[in-house]
Structure 1
Amino acid sequence: MRLLLWLVALMATAIGIAVTARFNPGNVVLFYPPHRIDMSLNLFVLMLGALFVALYGLVRAFYATARMPQRVAAYRQRKREREGNKGLRDALKALFEGRFGHAEKAAMRAAELPENAGLASLIGARAAHRMREPARRDAWLAGVAHDASLKTARLMTVTELLVDDHQHDAALQAVDELFASGQRHIHALQWAMKANQQARNWPEVLRLVRILDKRKALHPALAKRLRELAYQSLLGEGGHDAESIRRTWAGVPAAERTAPYIAARAAEAFNACGLHDEARAIAEESLKADWDERVVRAYRDAAGPAGSPTLLAQIESCEQWRKTRPMDAQLALTLGSLCLKQKLWGKAQRYLEQALSDALDAEMVREAHLKLAQMHEALGQEQEAANHYRQCALVGWTAMPSKRSALV
């Protein structure tokens, strides 16, 4: 449609010029003594137009020739930009596809463009790391070390790659530098947690787990497992004295103290230091909030001295708990053990035999046989004691198939 309109306009213009020229009687005379040139006005107008077009063409040709070096340089720059940007796209695509060799080669092409050099270096570092080439990885990272605009991206990349390479000390240095610059977003906190976990810096791991859990950035199962590992290390490792255990327990938030895996580990640690009163208090608070066999086992190990009011109070508490959990084998074993220590032989035998019949694992069966053997031995019933000792040994033997096959 536009072409048709242009043709109509051009034809109308041509017709107008032809009609005007036909009825134009004007004449132009040029004098340059001794010469004289006569021409029609129409011819003069045409020659003037042709002269203008010729001069315009000469001027354009001159400027085009003068700007030729700039145009060549701009063309080469555009070509480099196209190739550099294409290399960057190819590097990203190859990295996501897992073709790390292709990604590193494409990153080399992309790095030839100064604007892409920083990002290309980070891509090349990740690709080299995946190919287990630490020297090339470090060389790529060194190339972007002084780029302030990519500081956060560089530190995040360094942290991830070093954590993956189990170089937790260097990773923690990058984390400290990252946090010093004010970057504490969720992804940074997650990698900081992993670096501290590798370094076994459990107090910091717990702090980061609480932050991430509050922001719902951790799966609940993972958060629970990390807390278990942290408290297992803080409370369960050997070499702790009573004072250090108390300090560690004082730093546990009140909301976490009743969690079964924490309470059980803490009670075991206090029992190992001989602090049975504190272990019993921890176990009782946890059992009020949430029943767990591990805590019941720790409560059994925290039994008070024979004949003491503490031991009698424990027996009474266990009997109250049995009203709501009559089929709990771990509780029956605990109550039988406490009665055995208090020398309540009838109750001890009844509860231990119930624990033996309701036991769910070999360890509980073995312990019930052992307690019954000790009870019969204390009563002078040697035959019954020997039978239970034999059953205890048989349970221990069947629970270790690998050792038994090795002996055979």
Structure 2
Amino acid sequence: MRFLITLVILLATAIGLAVGARFNPGNVVFFYPPYRIDLSLNLFIVLVVLLFVLVYAIMNAIRSTQQMPQRVAAYRREKREREGNRALRDALKALFEGRFGHAEKAATRAGESPENAGLSALIGARAAHRMSQSARRDLWLSKVQEPSLKTARLMTAIELSTDGHEPESALEAVRELNSSGTRHIHALRLALKANQRGKNWPEVLRLVRLLDKRNALHPALSQRLRELAYEDLLTTQAHDAESIRRVWATIPTEDRVQPYVAVRAAMAFNARGLHDDARMVVEKALSVEWDDRLVRAYGESAAAEGSPALLSQIERCEEWAQKHPTDPELALTLGTLCLRQKLWGKAQRHLEQALYEAADSEIVRQAHLKLAQLHEALNQPEEAASHYRQCALATML
């Protein structure tokens, strides 16, 4: 329909021009002595139009000739960009397919395009890392110079260095990332992993708390990381009595009553002869949550024989026994404390109760050992020998 309308308009225009030219009596005279040229007005108009078209064509040809180098350069640039984008897509496809050698080669081709140089270098770094080529990986990362890709480069460096068990490089990238103010969740997770590999446990604890506030860590993983951190801070590192107290003072109150923290703190205090501090730690933790590990640590924190503190411990354990009458660990601890205080009857009763209630072979072994020591102290060699045999059998199980 549009074609028909256009054809009708052209025909009408042609007819109008023909009719107008037929009835146009005008003339145009060019006079240059001694020459004279007479033209009809219609011919003159046609010649002017033809001259205009010719001049326009010549000017357009000159302009096109002048623009030819820029057009050739633009064509070549567009061709390189198309080839670079194709190579970038090939590199990504090969990387996701696990063909890391092809991915690195495609990244090299894609890097010939300036627009794709940074992203292709990141792809090449990941491909080289998967092939365990750390030197080539670092070379690829050094090619990422665009300011807009700084965060991407640092995140990639942290992830790859951590995965490659290079905590020093990972922590250096973490420090640079922190200086740039980046604090999103994935960055915190990578920083956590890097600090864990680098055994920077104070920073691990800080990052775990940050991620816990954002619900970005599984509770089991969070608890395990805290256990590892507190184990290093409290039991692995060398501390004297005052330094271990300073470390304990830096731990948040809500963490101090956690069983795994209190047990390790009690172990650290006991190792340095600070049994009173160990008992206070365990008592506060047990007042919040009952845990057999804490009860065992309480027994290991026993005061000196015949001291008021030891009697106080026995009284505290007897109070707990009223609330937990069938707890074998508590019975074993109470029997051990009574044995230390030479309360033979109470000691025997509680140790035998521990044997009766125990399902753990270690509790059975300890109970037989303590009963053997009790009978030795009472000059009952046959009973002591019997319990020693039972202790040996429990050890073999």
Bucket of the pairwise TM-score, normalised by the shorter protein: over 0.9
Query: Does residue 168 of structure 1 match 2:151?
Result: no
What pairs with 1:253-402 in structure 2 (closer than 5 Å)?
253-398=252-397
Aligned to 2:179: 180
Cα deviation 1:313-350 (Å, max 9, x = unaligned): 22222222222222222112112222222233333222
Match of 1:47 in 2: 47
Stretches of structure 2 lacking an aligned partner (at least 5 in a row)? none
- Tell me, what secondary structure is at the counterpart of 2:342? coil
C-alpha distance in 1 between matches for 2:365 and 2:3? 101
Change (3 A) 1:341 1:58: same
Identity %: 66
Q: Would the alpha carbon gap of residues 306 and 4 (structure 1) be closer, same or farther in structure 2, given more than 3 Å must change?
A: farther
Written as runs of structure 1 = structure 2, the 5 A alignment for 1:173-212 is 173-212=172-211
Deviation at 1:131, TM superposition (A): 0.8
Q: Report the Cα distance in structure 2 between the residues aligned to 1:202 and 1:307, rounded to whole angstroms.
A: 41
Name the CA distance, whole Å, in 2 between partners of 1:139 and 1:238: 37
Q: 1:50 to 1:238 in 2, by over 3 A?
A: closer
Query: Which AA in structure 1 matches 2:393?
Result: L
User: 1: CA distance between counterparts of 2:129 and 2:83?
Assistant: 25
Q: Deviations over 1:130-155 (max 9, x none)?
A: 111122112212223x5444333322
Query: How many residue pairs were aligned?
Result: 397
d(CA) in 2 for partners of 1:316, 1:14: 122
Deviations 1:370-402 (A, max 9, x none): 11222222222222221111111011112xxxx
1:84-233 map, 5 Å: 84-144=84-144, 146-233=145-232
Cα root mean square deviation, aligned: 2.2
1:183 and 1:330 map into 2 onto residues whose CA distance is: 49
Q: Structure 2 counterpart of 1:326, which letter?
A: P
For 2:222 and 2:184, how far apart are their aligned partners in 1? 18
Q: How far has the Cα of 1:185 moved from its partner? A: 3.5
Q: Cα offset for 1:285?
A: 0.2
Corresponding letter in the other structure for 1:380 = N
The Cα shift of 1:239 comes to 4.1
Structure 1 residues 347 and 4, CA, compared in 2 at 3 Å: closer, same or farther?
farther
Shift of 1:76: 0.5
1:121–1:238 distance in 2 versus 1, CA, 3 Å: closer
SS at match of 2:215: coil
AA aligned opposite 1:43:
L
For 2:177 and 2:19, how far apart are their aligned partners in 1? 82
State how far apart, in whole Å, the 2-side matches of 1:6 and 1:343 are. 120
Shift of 1:284: 0.4
Paired amino acid for 1:88:
L
Distance 2:107 2:51 in 1: 56
In structure 2, the residue matched to 1:405 is none
Deviates more, 1:34-43 or 1:47-56: 34-43
The answer to whether the aligner puts 1:56 opposite 2:61 as a matched pair is: no
**Distance in 2 separating the partners of 1:368 and 1:137:** 59
2:25 aligns with: 25
Task: Give, as a single letter, the amino acid of the residue that structure 2 aligns with 1:74.
Answer: A
Distance in structure 1 (CA, Å) of the matches to 2:140 and 2:11: 66
| Distance in 1 (alpha carbons) for counterparts of 2:17 and 2:229 | 96
Separation in 1 of the partners of 2:23 and 2:357? 127
Deviation of the 1:74 alpha carbon:
0.8
Q: State the match for 1:401 in structure 2.
A: none
Q: What amino acid sits opposite 1:256 in the alignment?
A: D
Q: CA offsets, 1:10-29, max 9 Å, x none?
A: 23322322332333333444
In 2, the alpha carbon distance for the partners of 1:4 and 1:187 equals: 64
CA distance in 2, matches of 1:14, 1:334: 118
Q: 1:9 to 1:359 in 2, by over 3 A?
A: farther
- Once the two structures are TM-superposed, the CA of residue 108 in structure 1 deviates from its matched residue by 0.8
Amino acid at match of 1:48: V
Q: Deviation per CA, 1:212-239, whole angstroms, max 9, x where unpaired?
A: 2223332222121111001111111274
2:23 counterpart letter in structure 1: F
The amino acid of 1:208's aligned partner reads: L
Q: 1:38 Cα shift?
A: 4.5
Q: Which residue of 2 aligns with 1:81?
A: 81
Change (3 A) 1:338 1:63: same
Letter in 1 for 2:384: A
Residues 286-295 or 88-97, more deviating: 88-97
How far, CA to CA, are the matches of 1:6 and 1:169 in structure 2? 76
TM superposition shift of 1:34: 5.5
How big is each residue's C-alpha offset from its partner over 1:169-197, in whole Å with a ceiling of 9 and x where there is no partner?
Answer: 23222222332333343333332322222
TM-score (norm 1): 0.90
Bigger shift: residues 318-327 or 381-390: 318-327
Task: Give me the whole-angstrom Cα distance separating, in 1, the residues matched to 2:16 and 2:327.
Answer: 113
